[in-house]
């Protein structure tokens, strides 16, 4: 039976996609860099784990042995994302991998460093001999999870960009399901799918929905770039990532991030999850 290599396997996206793939009885090799993560993924049901570093070509080569398909989920904002993708794609060609699914981002053309590196990865892929699918997800609804205690307990919905900028926020659960379907079901070769949520929502829109759901006033607060930098430095975020996120936040303030939900709706065969349904399911523990 064929085996699928999943990179970024122990991350937020990787774990949810792997759950969906296991539910579909797929054989999975998880690329992980920490032994503890390997134990967790084996307990979830992956068939084997390759312990390595995506920055090392020898590790990529070994991880790809006997693999039929790849889901490449690069670590977010990795400074060498384009180089890692190019190396993986060349090795997949050399080793006869049949399918390559690239987890990219909505609007890789945007003037944001990590979007441009994903654009370079897409470029390498469409110029390869591989049967590929490119997935372009919008911003996750799950960004709310990290600030949930302040939202619930203090009524503060604070993020470091304009409170009126709109995003086609998408549920990671829907993305994981769509990604698994693209990997497992036939008919997705050479497609590029924009994966956006069902509504264009600003922080103010989200705060209004949260006010209704929680029965308390929730206020949208645009944090300044200075506040963002101060807190990110205090949390030990690498300087290059702070710079990338600062550019991204400025881009969000100017343009938001909007897409169309039709491809996701078609892939899921149902309506994509709304923001209210996501909050109830994932943060309020309602079915």
Ligand X SMILES: NC(=O)c1ccc[n+]([C@@H]2O[C@H](COP(=O)([O-])OP(=O)(O)OC[C@H]3O[C@@H](n4cnc5c(N)ncnc54)[C@H](OP(=O)(O)O)[C@@H]3O)[C@@H](O)[C@H]2O)c1
Q: Which of 10, 162, 163, 194 binds ligand X (CB under 6 A)?
A: 10
Q: Please give the Cα distance from 78 to 172 (Å, whole number).
A: 20
Q: Which of 137, 160, 256, 259 binds ligand X (CB under 6 A)?
A: 137
Told to check if 8 binds ligand X by CB under 6 A, we report yes
Long-range contacts of 233-237 (CB under 8 A, 24+ apart): none
What is the smallest separation between the CB atom of 215 and ligand X, expressed in angstroms? 28
Q: Where are the alpha helices (DSSP H) in 78-112?
A: 81-95
- The dihedral built from the CA positions of residue 243, 76, 203 and 216, taken in this order, carries a sign that is negative
What is the smallest separation between the CB atom of 287 and ligand X, expressed in angstroms? 25
Q: Provide the 8-state DSSP code for 207.
A: H
Q: Which of 73, 85, 134, 245 binds ligand X (CB under 6 A)?
A: 73
What is the smallest separation between the CB atom of 37 and ligand X, expressed in angstroms? 5
Distances (CA, A) of 19 to 41, 151, 168, 180, 265: 10, 29, 24, 9, 20
The two tokens of residue 160 are 């470091």
Contact region for ligand X (CB under 6 A) — 136-144, 146-154, 181-189, 197-205? 136-144
Told to check if 162 binds ligand X by CB under 6 A, we report no
Told to check if 113 binds ligand X by CB under 6 A, we report no
CA 93 to chain centre: 25
Q: Which of 75, 79, 113, 155 binds ligand X (CB under 6 A)?
A: 75
Told to check if 140 binds ligand X by CB under 6 A, we report yes
**Residues forming the site for ligand X (CB under 6 A):** 8-14, 33-34, 37, 53-55, 73-76, 103, 105, 137, 139-140
């Amino acid at each position: 039976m064929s085996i699928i290599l999943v990179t970024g396997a122990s991350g937020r996206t990787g774990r949810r996609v792997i759950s969906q793939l296991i539910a579909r009885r797929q054989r999975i090799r998880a690329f992980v860099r920490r032994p503890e993560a390997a134990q967790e993924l084996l307990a979830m049901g992956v068939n084997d784990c390759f312990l390595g570093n995506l920055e090392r070509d020898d590790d990529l080569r070994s991880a790809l042995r006997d693999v039929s398909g790849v889901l490449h989920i690069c670590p977010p904002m990795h400074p060498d994302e384009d180089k890692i993708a190019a190396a993986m794609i060349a090795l997949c060609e050399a080793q006869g991998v049949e399918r390559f699914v690239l987890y990219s981002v909505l609007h890789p053309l945007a003037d944001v460093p990590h979007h441009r590196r994903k654009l370079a990865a897409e470029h390498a892929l469409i110029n390869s001999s591989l049967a590929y699918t490119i997935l372009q997800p919008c911003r996750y609804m799950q960004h709310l999870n990290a600030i949930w205690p302040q939202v619930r307990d203090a009524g503060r919905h604070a993020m470091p960009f304009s409170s009126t900028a709109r995003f086609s926020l998408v549920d990671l659960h829907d993305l994981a399901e769509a990604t698994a379907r693209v990997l497992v079901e036939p008919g997705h070769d050479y497609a590029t799918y924009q994966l956006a949520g069902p509504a264009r929502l600003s922080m103010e829109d989200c705060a209004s929905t949260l006010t209704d759901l929680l029965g308390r006033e929730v206020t949208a607060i645009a944090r300044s770039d200075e506040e963002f930098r101060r807190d990110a430095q205090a949390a030990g975020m690498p300087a290059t990532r702070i710079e990338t996120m600062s550019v991204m936040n400025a881009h969000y303030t100017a343009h938001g991030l909007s897409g169309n939900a039709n491809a996701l709706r078609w892939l899921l065969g149902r309506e994509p999850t709304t923001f209210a349904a996501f909050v109830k399911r994932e943060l309020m523990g309602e079915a």
